[in-house]
A and B are shown apart, each in its own frame.
Chain A
Amino acid sequence: MSETTTDALTEALPKVSPVARMARRALGHHGFMIGATVLGLIVLMAIFAPLIAPHDPYAQDVSRRLIPPVWDAKGSWEHVFGTDKLGRDYLSRLIYGARISLLIGALAALISGVIGTALGVAAGYFGGKVDAAISYLITTRLSMPVVLVALAVAALVGGSLKIVILVLGFLLWDRFAVVTRVATQQIRHAEYISAARCIGCSVWRIVLSEILPNILNALIVVATLEMAHAILLEATLSFLGLGVPPPEPSWGLMIAEGKSYMFFKPWVIVIPGIALLVLVLAINLLGDGVRDVTAPENRN
């Protein structure tokens, strides 16, 4: 993983740029391609939800409740995935739900990424007492049960989209910190960093222009993991009734709401469950792919 070997390799193969080489590796990596395609589709679906969704996801009509999906004998193309317990179109809710999952995943990963990277880089770069203090912080954070703390805090301040994002953002920084700390430690004594230090670059400058670009790969991998993690946790919190409040079409909430009907109408929990599974799977595959593509020498 040392930078010099990579540089040496690049020089040895002058005709192919590193980006092109990475792209070629990415195209040949099944997991990466599947993950990227599926995630891309879901992102498009979320962005263009108002155009794609056949109905208003909030429009309820209690006289048209629990219509089965189209593959059921009683289903119709009017409601492809049927309707929920309040007569809202399930497909439309599913499409809009992607917005919530992606928004929470991305923002929570961003917040926790900023916090975790700042802490991790500081610990790795300065070492000594700073490192000890931050490692201690990481240990403390790890020792607290995430779901329980998130639930307790959400219950205290009231569950809402904003609160869920903030709570998850402030809870999920540990892995960022751990990974960036180690990555920074590894390059801290590299020549180019010592050189930058010698010519009088400020710490900010060194971190922003020398350290961050070099740990970016590791960061992206962790970011995908944490995004997936945040999406699952949001679903869990909503499932337990303290996440995104109704009538928002969160997938976790849809599973919670469908629970009462699952024995006789299993599709009400199967559909949003599969949606969640597919999204998280795609993000994880993408993350694994990024790791394999950017650092093939680490591939096992």
Chain B
Amino acid sequence: MLQFALRRIAIALCVAFTVAVFSFFLLHLSGDLAVSIAGPESSAEQVEMIRVEYGLDKPITTQFVEWLWKAMHFDFGRSFYFQDQVTTLIGGRLGVTMTLGGLALGFALLIAIPLGVIAAIKRDTWVDRVALTISVFGQAMPSFWFGLTLVLIFAVNLRWLPASGTGTWKHFIMPVIALGTYAMPAIMRLTRNGMLDVLASDYIRTARAKGLHPATVMFKHALRNAVIPVVGLAAVQLGFMLGGSIVIETVFSLHGLGHLAWEAISRNDYPVVQAVVLLLSVVYIFVTLVADLLNAALDPRMRAN
């Protein structure tokens, strides 16, 4: 186990490093940084002063090492647009995105797992078909369009929910549904397939044969085993959802990371963009790492691979 964990952590660090290289180049491809930092009205001398001051005249590798060192201390420099440090901007927005992502994942799991379990138990009945239809539609629906449709129905026509912003818990209902629906089909399918496999396995048949109560068999034996792979998938989905939040946050005008990144892109504010890319990647790497370790702890077979 320890060996597996160490190896897995080493890989995660390598991946994080590669993403860091990518983010760094994203920033540097966005144009001459000295000019961007100095601002449009600056003279050539001012630009040169900034170039020296910020170390932009040094070799690119030196710049990278310095940047990485700062990035590891959560220092991404200043926004080109706002009078703020990138870290301050991100810190202010992270809460909204994490809340949204976490709630959306919770929502997806809450709907998808029971639905998957029921669909497996009632295989090939109308329940199964309804569940599959939901998952097929959930997969095919453009999430931004779904979000707009929700606003149209629940905010504007019925006036039950606020249309945008993050003022109260009510503000989160529609974004959470819109984002969660995006992750639901995959989790539902995996739960259903896992459940079907487990139900067909020998030990469940044995448990049944022993005359254990069907509910005990179902929840104590079958569900536990079927849900293990869902842990890994849920982690992956959380990562996707944090990335996908850019769309949902834009539709619902939530001042989160995704919205910040989108606005930063249209402002050519690349220090912010690269920091968000890096941050979301690192969160994904971390979450999947935890899920892998958790999986390995739950199921020794996982450690082999």
Docked CA distance A139–B239 (Å)? 12
Residues from 252 to 272 in B contacting A, C-beta threshold 8 Å:
258, 261-262, 265-266, 268, 270
Find chain B residues with CB under 8 A from A259 CB.
Answer: 148
User: Which of B32-40, B243-251, B296-304 forms part of the interface with chain A?
Assistant: B243-251
A142 / chain B contacts, CB cutoff of 8 Å: 236, 239, 284
Evaluate contact between B261 and A143: CB separation under 8 angstroms: no
Closest 9 CB pairs of A and B: A145-B243, A280-B140, A273-B145, A281-B140, A143-B281, A155-B265, A145-B280, A143-B284, A140-B18
Assembly CA distance A236 to B143 (angstroms): 8
From B29, B144, B193, A255 is in contact (CB under 8 Å) with: B144
Q: Return the chain B residue nearest A283 by Cβ.
A: B140
Q: Do A151 and B281 contact each other (CB < 8 Å), given the known contacts A263-B152, A273-B145?
A: no
Query: Is B239 a contact of A281 with CB atoms below 8 Å?
Result: no
Contact indicator B137/A281 (Cβ below 8 Å): yes
Residue of B at shortest CB range from A231? B142
Indicate if B19 sits at the interface (CB-CB under 8 A): yes
Q: Which residues of B contact A239 (CB under 8 A)?
A: 142, 144, 247
The reply to whether B277 and A143 form a contact with Cβ atoms under 8 Å apart is no
Q: Do B142 and A266 have beta carbons less than 8 Å apart?
A: no
B223 within 8 A of A: no
Contact A255 B15 (CB under 8 A): no
Interface residue? B121 (CB, 8 A) = no
A227 at the B interface (CB under 8 A):
no
- The chain A residue with its CB closest to the CB of B17 is A140
A252 to B142, CA, bound (A): 9
Q: How far is the CA of A139 from the CA of B14 in the complex (A)?
A: 10
A244 CB to nearest B CB, Å: 14
With A143-B15, A151-B262, A281-B136 already in contact, the answer to whether A276 and B142 are too (CB < 8 A) is yes
Q: How far is the CA of A284 from the CA of B186 in the complex (A)?
A: 13
State the CA gap A147–B239 with chains docked (Å): 12
Give the complex CA separation of A273 and B143 in angstroms. Answer: 10
New A-B contacts (9) at CB < 8 Å, excluding given A151-B246, A228-B139, A262-B152: A143-B284, A143-B285, A152-B270, A155-B266, A239-B247, A263-B156, A269-B145, A273-B142, A285-B136
Given A148-B261, A284-B139, A156 and B281 contact (CB-CB distance below 8 Å): no
Residues of chain A lying within 8 A (CB to CB) of residue B244: 145, 147
Tell me the residues in window 121-173 of chain A with beta carbons closer than 8 Å to chain B beta carbons: 136, 139-140, 142-149, 151-152, 155-156
Indicate if A241 sits at the interface (CB-CB under 8 A): yes
**Does B179 sit within 8 A of A, measured CB to CB?**
no
Binding site for B on A (CB under 8 A): 136, 139-140, 142-149, 151-152, 155-156, 228, 232, 235-236, 239-242, 252, 255, 259, 262-263, 266, 269-270, 273, 276-277, 280-281, 284-285, 288, 300
Q: Which of A149, A252, A285 contacts B277 (CB 8 A)?
A: A149
Q: Give B230-241 as 1s and 0s: 1 = Cβ < 8 Å from A's Cβ atoms.
A: 000000100110
Q: Which residues of B contact A288 (CB under 8 A)?
A: 136
Which B residues form the contact surface with A (CB < 8 A)? 11, 14-16, 18-19, 22, 26, 29-30, 136-137, 139-145, 148-149, 152, 156, 192-193, 196, 236, 239-240, 242-244, 246-247, 250, 258, 261-262, 265-266, 268, 270, 273, 276-277, 280-281, 284-285, 288
Given A148-B277, A285-B136, CB of A240 within 8 Å of CB of B243: no
Please tell me if the beta carbons of A300 and B192 are within 8 angstroms of each other in the complex.
yes
Name the A residues within 8 Å of B140 (CB-CB): 228, 232, 277, 280-281, 284
| Nearest neighbor of B278 in chain A, beta-carbon distance | A144
Name 10 interchain pairs, CB-CB below 8 A, sorted by A: A145-B246, A148-B261, A149-B277, A151-B261, A228-B140, A235-B144, A239-B142, A240-B250, A262-B152, A280-B140
Q: A240-B250, A240-B262 are in contact. Are A144 and B277 (CB under 8 A)?
A: yes
Q: Is the CB of A140 within 8 A of B142?
A: no
The main secondary structure of chain B at its interface with chain A is: helix
Given A236-B247, A281-B140, A300-B193, check contact A145 B242 (CB 8 Å).
yes
Which chain B residues border A280 with CB–CB below 8 Å? Answer: 139-142
Candidate in A151, A228, A266, A285 with the most chain B CB atoms within 10 angstroms: A151
Listed residue (A236, A241, A255) with the most chain B CB atoms within 10 angstroms of its CB: A236
Q: What is the CB-to-nearest-CB distance from A27 to chain B, in angstroms, rounded to a whole number?
A: 20
Q: Is the CB of A152 within 8 A of B236?
A: no
Pair A144/B144 contact, Cβ less than 8 Å: no
CB distance from B198 to the nearest CB of A (A): 12
Residue of A with least CB distance to B277: A148
State the Cβ distance, A157 to closest chain B Cβ, in Å: 9
B259 → chain A closest CB, angstroms: 11
Whether the pair A262, B277 counts as a contact (CB closer than 8 A) is no
Closest B residue to A288 using CB positions:
B136
A145–B142 CB distance below 8 A: no
Q: Which residue of A lies closest to B123 (CB)?
A: A300
Query: Which residues of chain B are near A242, meaning CB under 8 Å?
Result: 265
A147–B276 CA distance with the chains assembled, in angstroms: 12
Q: Which residue of B lies closest to A232 (CB)?
A: B142
Give the shortest distance, in Å, between A8 (CB) and chain B (any CB): 23
* B243 with A148: CB separation less than 8 A: yes
Question: Given the interface contacts A232-B142, A276-B145, does A152 sit within 8 Å of B26 by beta carbon?
Answer: yes
Central interface residue in A136, A145, A148, A151, by most chain B CB within 10 Å: A145
